[in-house]
Amino acid sequence: DILNYTPTTDSLADKIILVTGAGDGIGKVASLTYAKCGATVLLLGKTESKLEAVYDEIESLGLAMPAILPMDLEKASFAQMNELATLIQKEFGRLDGVLHNAGVLGALTPLEMYDPITFEQVMHVNGTAVFMLTQALFPLLVSAPSGSVVFTSSGVAKVRPFWGAYALSKQMIEGMSTIFTEETKNHTALRFNCINPGATRTNMRAHAFPGENPLTLKTPEDIMPAYVYLMTDMASGVKGQVIHCQPK
Ligand code: NDP
């Protein structure tokens, strides 16, 4: 059972895994957890100081040296993403996994009043940029012995009213995972799945539900079994799934 999987110090031995939004919230904990499981983690994110703090923590634990990849997914061009892929190929020689975790909430507003500029930003960071980065990294991922792409969905992906572009972007992500899965049927080693973290104690959740007591929520650490499992070779047969980390 994926949710009861117990990660060990060698669950991800020798794997090279890129995490987006690695500086905060779930992405920060996933990066630290992957490193503790033996992976070399490529920390991609917007705020460099946050990535440096994660880097320092991994280094102080004496784990495999991570790398910092500063990138603002709202502004990065496809050419920059291709350069990133070239850099990974040159420095690391391969890429075993990508956790697409970065995301923005946007406005919680009826579509009737939703600011189109915010709409485009949210769709880009949570949707289009995920597609662009996956395409740029595709040659690396498809040649990995057991490549794993993990997208981040949400309970509102089933199109929740008042969640606007965020809900639509998460629906796009689930569709993207399905299409990539179908289109790569013949690449038996490469898999695409989504994780729905469920209500988790982070800044984004606090912003969406300001009246809620965060202590009632699961922490990012609590939901790590699924995040690690999908990156292990044990998950090689898991394809096109949406893994819900918490009971609905
Ligand atoms: P946080 O807001 O705590 O963290 C989001 C991360 O994404 C930050 O590291 C942030 O970097 C990064 N990010 C945002 N915009 C960009 C950008 N333009 N370029 C690069 N990185 C960016 O959110 P969570 O940890 O809660 O969320 C992580 C994922 O989980 C998201 O995809 C979210 O939609 C999803 N999710 C979360 C739930 C929850 O309850 N927490 C529930 C369901 C889904 P920086 O800090 O530098 O801006």
**pLDDT digit string, tens, across residues 99-145:** 999 999 999 999 999 999 999 999 999 999 999 999 999 999 999 99
The answer to the question of residue 1 being in a domain is no
The answer to the question of residue 196 being in a domain is yes
The answer to the question of residue 182 being in a domain is yes
Q: Is 106 in the pocket of ligand 1 (CB under 6 A)?
A: no
114 is catalytic: no
- Residue range 29-44: mean pLDDT, rounded: 98
CATH number at residue 58: 3.40.50.720
The answer to the question of residue 2 being in a domain is no
Q: Is 46 in the pocket of ligand 1 (CB under 6 A)?
A: yes
The answer to the question of residue 17 being in a domain is yes
Residue nearest to ligand 1 atom 37, measured at CA: 197
Could you tell me how far CA 232 lies from the centroid of its own chain?
A: 15
The answer to the question of residue 3 being in a domain is no
Residues 85, 37: Cα–Cα separation, whole Å? 24
Q: What is the pLDDT of residues 132-150, one digit of tens each?
A: 999 999 999 999 999 999 9
* ipTM for this prediction: 0.99
Residue nearest to ligand 1 atom 10, measured at CA: 21
φ, ψ of residue 218 in degrees (nearest 5):
-65, 150
- Exposure string (b/e) for 56-87, b if CB count within 10 Å is 16 or more? eebeeeebbebbebebebeebeeeebbebbee
Instruction: Round the average pLDDT of the chain to a whole number and report it.
Output: 97
The answer to the question of residue 4 being in a domain is no
Total count of domains within the chain: 1
The answer to the question of residue 158 being in a domain is yes
Residue to probe by mutation, ligand 1, list 132, 160, 202, most atoms within 8 Å of CB? 202
The residue segments making up the domain with residue 142 are 9-244
